[in-house]
Chains A and B, each alone.
Chain A
Amino acid sequence: MQPPPADTASSASVAPGPVAVLEARGIVKRFGHVEALRGVDFEAHAGEVTALIGDNGAGKSTLVKILSGVYQATAGNILLDGCNVTFNSPSDAHALGIETVYQDLSVAPDLTPSANMFMGRELVLPGLLGKFGFLDNARMRRESAEAFQRLKVSLKDIDMPIASLSGGQRQSVAICRSIMWAKQVVFMDEPTAALGVVQTRRTLELVRRICDTGVAVVLISHNMRDVLEVADTIEVLRLGRRIARLRNNNISIQDLVGAMTGALDSTADEQVTA
């Protein structure tokens, strides 16, 4: 966990560069006979919030899992900073600074928040003990507590298993974990689904703040108001295809719903060509 210097991070956050930090081209994913994705294009820019919307079963989670290395695409390319990359596992994506808040959260309920924050990236003690894999629990606990404090997540007891937390608190832990490690891209698959009003507000503020540090945030949400509030760009999926890429200016909830359901199949010039 090497924090990038604060100044360079925020300087990268001005305008989206011409090259997307993460780009997907023609992603196809089949599960047996089910074709979940049928040639999806997608791009996320540094310092921008890209919303990914679509009806249930449109393929949003599947796309996110492919771009996080959980699934491998049946066909198509993934480009990071314009270079082809392949993710054979989630670790490959992690190594390139891509983090994900999964829809099912991906936490270990029996373990503490700090064990979850450092899952798979445990810190070991310095010296010989560390060589034998002895954990530096005190440091992981401290750094987790700092991260929670910084992101304003209040947990009653940081030493209790995650299962004893509320659904929203669990979600907050998952969000904190991905933010702590992300350097390039954070995917958030319905991060506010289990959150109350206050916590939802905070998460959306957080989304803005993270992307101000120069990280690309991809937000999946079914709440169109939230999407219009935070997103710079909105990508619309329908039946495994991207059918629109909209800049967030002067568009209404009706436009988004229309694009998702196909009722309104021409948002004129804002629609993606080719």
Chain B
Amino acid sequence: MSQTIVAPTAEDPVPTTVQPPPNLSRRLRAGMTSSPAYMGVILVVLFLFFTIMRPDTFASLFNLRNIFLDAATLMILATGMTYVMIAGGFDLSIGSVLVFAGVCGAKTMEAMGTNTVFTLVAGLAVSLLAGGAWGLFNGFCISRLRVSALITTLGSMGAALGMAYLVTGGNDVRTVPKMLMTIGHGTVFGVPWLVVITTVVAIVAGVVLHMTKFGRHTFLVGSNPEAARRAGINVQRHVLLLYGLSGLLAGLAAMLSLGRFSTTTLEGHGTDPLEAVTAVVLGGTSLYGGSGSIIGTVVGVFIPAVLANGFIIMGVQPFWQMVVIGFVVIAAVYVDQLKRQSRDRV
């Protein structure tokens, strides 16, 4: 930038304001009014409520571990969904892609018939490959062929599940190597493997989203794709990669699910994408793209999980959780819209 532009005019009526350095208290205030913060408070309140009501059942180590284990695969799916939704997209296919990738991985390991680290790695590689390929297919249709994300991933949802049924003949694959079950049930220093893996994935995803160029471009693409394109960002490629990432994470979730349940659970993932969207939206990621966070999604995954678990422990019919969460999601989106309206003044 050229210094000659500076030339200050003496009679400038408005004083130049020097920007203060990022002010911690102001930042804190901005953080406190964000959706993740509200939802975080709700999560803590729920947690305390159930702990006080049922101190020795709800707050037991066993029960907490169960909550975490139940949330693990959903967390991984919701991580991918967060990226896709921040970029203004949507992915309905992740549940079916999970099943398809799991079937591919399980079939591979079954065919190998061994129980070594190599078996595991091969299964994982095939599962990731299968998931990633579906994701890239979605991304290709959406970014290049310009089919809407909703329709593309709706189509993939059916197609991926159909292919999983074709490969298995409709019967779940139940021969899972012992070593994978160790991952599914074992612990490191008392912490279940699933929780360790999920935490690592969430942290890496959060760091990449909020601190790197890739993450910044994800926000830009969601906020104003045309502006991003004019700024030289390869929007098509970025969108392709994001759906690929979503599929890849579904592949990873598939292996974790296999390890936990020792079966491909063909029937068990129909509502996964909806649960993931619920978590992402509860966590304050905008349906319109452009804003969101991984930490918000973590909170959004745990609110329904804690609620369901707490209701069961308190003897309340667990179906109430579905009712409550349903209305809370609607409220969350309504609040997001209100915020946008008050913000988008011209």
List the interface of chain A (C-beta within 8 A of B). Answer: 1, 3-4, 6, 9-10, 68, 70, 89-91, 94, 100, 102, 104-111, 115, 119-122, 124, 132-135, 141, 145, 147-152, 154-155, 157-161, 163-164, 166-167, 179-181, 194, 198, 205-206, 209-210, 212-213, 215
What are 16 A-B pairs with beta-carbon distances under 8 A?
A: A9-B2, A102-B230, A105-B227, A108-B220, A110-B223, A111-B290, A135-B212, A135-B216, A149-B17, A152-B12, A152-B14, A154-B14, A154-B16, A155-B17, A158-B19, A179-B5
Q: Which residues of A contact B26 (CB under 8 A)?
A: 157, 159
Alpha-carbon distance between A53 and B14 when the two chains are bound, in angstroms? 31
User: What CA separation (Å) do A61 and B212 show in the bound complex?
Assistant: 34
Contact A133-B228, Cβ < 8 Å, known A1-B1, A152-B14 = no
Whether A121 touches B7, Cβ cut-off 8 Å, given contacts A108-B219, A109-B290, is: no
- Determine if B216 and A121 form an interchain contact, defined as CB atoms under 8 angstroms apart: no
Could you say which residues of chain A place their CB within 8 Å of the CB of B169?
Answer: none
Are A3 and B223 within 8 A (Cβ)?
no
Assembled-state Cα–Cα distance A149/B17 (Å): 7
Residue numbers in A under 8 Å from B228 (CB-CB): 108, 119-120
Q: For this complex, into which size category does the number of interface residues on chain B fall?
A: 35 or more
- Contact present for A212 and B16 (CB under 8 Å): no
Residues of A within 8 A of B19 (CB): 145, 148-149, 155, 158
Interchain CB contact under 8 A, B13 and A198: yes
| Interface flag for B211 (CB, 8 Å) | yes
Which residues of the other chain, B, contact A147 by a CB distance below 8 angstroms? 1
B2 and A4 contacting across the interface, CB-CB below 8 Å: yes
A118 to B139, alpha carbons, bound, how many Å? 26
Interchain CB contact under 8 A, B229 and A209: no
Chain A residue at smallest Cβ distance from B225: A108
Q: How far is the CA of A10 from the CA of B4 in the complex (A)?
A: 7
Docked complex Cα distance between A12 and B102 (Å): 66
Scan residues 1-60 of chain B and give those whose CB is less than 8 A from a CB of chain A.
Answer: 1-9, 12-19, 22, 26-27, 30
B-chain residues with CB within 8 Å of residue A104 when the two chains form the complex: 226
Partner of A119, one of B30, B227, B346: B227
For the A-B complex, the count of residue pairs with Cβ-Cβ distances under 8 Å equals 139
Asked if A149 and B224 sit within 8 Å, CB to CB, the answer is: no
Given the complex, which residues of A lie within 8 Å of B230, measured CB to CB?
Answer: 68, 70, 90, 100, 102, 106
Contact code string B203-243 (vs A, CB < 8 Å = 1, else 0): 00000000111101001101110111111110000000000
Say how far B262's CB is from chain A's closest CB, in angstroms.
37
Could you tell me if A9 and B1 are in contact, using CB atoms closer than 8 angstroms? no
Q: How far is the CA of A163 from the CA of B336 in the complex (A)?
A: 14
Check A141/B22 contact, CB under 8 A, given A119-B231, A120-B228, A198-B14: yes
Query: Which of B228, B230, B290, B344 has the most A CB atoms < 10 Å from its CB?
Result: B230
Q: How far is the CB of B130 from chain A (nearest CB, A)?
A: 27
Q: Please, how many angstroms separate the alpha-carbon atoms of A166 and B27 in the complex?
A: 21
With A6-B2, A148-B19, A213-B5 as known contacts, state yes or no: A167 contacts B346, CB within 8 Å: yes
In the complex, are the beta carbons of A135 and B211 less than 8 A apart?
A: yes
Cβ contacts under 8 Å, A159 to chain B: 22, 26-27, 30
- Residue pair A132, B2 in contact (C-beta under 8 Å): no
Interface centre among B1, B26, B224 (most CB of A within 10 A): B1
Contacts of A151 in B (CB 8 A): 5
- Complex formed: what's the CA distance from A263 to B290 in Å? 48
In the bound complex, do residue A149 and residue B18 qualify as a contact, i.e. CB atoms below 8 Å apart? Answer: yes
Specify the chain B residue showing the minimal Cβ separation from A157: B26
Query: B5 and A206: CB pair below 8 A?
Result: yes
B14 near A89 (CB under 8 angstroms)? Answer: no
B291 to chain A: closest residue by CB: A110
Contacts of B345 in A (CB 8 A): 166
Q: Are B232 and A94 in contact (CB under 8 A)?
A: yes
Indicate which residue in B3, B7, B212, B222 contacts A133 across the interface (CB closer than 8 Å). B212
Tell me the residues in window 301-325 of chain B with beta carbons closer than 8 Å to chain A beta carbons: none
Minimal Cβ-Cβ distance residue in B for A180: B1
Q: How far is the CA of A210 from the CA of B2 in the complex (A)?
A: 9
Distance, CA A160 to CA B214, complexed state (A): 21
Q: B232 and A111: CB pair below 8 A?
A: no
A125 to B223, CA, bound (A): 24
Chain B residue with the shortest CB-CB distance to A89: B232
B229 — which chain A residues lie within 8 A by C-beta?
90
Q: Measured between C-beta atoms, what is the minimum distance from B290 to chain A in Å? A: 3
- Rounded to whole Å, the gap between the CB of B255 and the closest CB of chain A is 26
For A158, the chain B residues whose CB sits under 8 A away are 19
Q: Are B290 and A9 in contact (CB under 8 A)?
A: no
Task: Report the minimum CB–CB distance from A55 to chain B (whole Å).
Answer: 25
Query: Complex Cα distance A149/B291, Å?
Result: 27
Give Cα distance in the complex from A167 to B344, angstroms. Answer: 9
Whether B227 and A106, one on each chain, are in contact in the complex, defined by CB atoms closer than 8 angstroms, is yes
Q: Which of A120, A166, A212, A215 has the most CB of B within 10 A?
A: A120
> Which B residues between 151 and 183 are near A, CB-CB below 8 angstroms?
none
Chain A: minimal CB distance from B263 (Å)? 38
Shortest Cβ distance from A14 into chain B, in angstroms? Answer: 14
Please, which residues of chain B bring their CB within 8 A of the CB of A6? 2-4
Residues in B whose Cβ lies below 8 Å from that of A145 = 18-19
Q: Provide the bound-state CA to CA distance between A164 and B229, in Å.
A: 23
10 further A-B pairs in the complex, CB-CB below 8 A; given A3-B2, A135-B216, A150-B1? A6-B2, A108-B228, A111-B223, A115-B220, A135-B212, A145-B18, A155-B19, A166-B345, A198-B14, A215-B2
For residue B227, give the distance in angstroms from its CB to the closest CB of chain A.
4
Instruction: List residues of chain B with CB within 8 A of the CB of A9.
Output: 2, 4
Q: Are A163 and B343 within 8 A (Cβ)?
A: yes
Least distance between A226 CB and chain B CB atoms (Å) = 18
Q: How far is the CA of A90 from the CA of B291 in the complex (A)?
A: 25
Contacts of B344 in A (CB 8 A): 109, 163
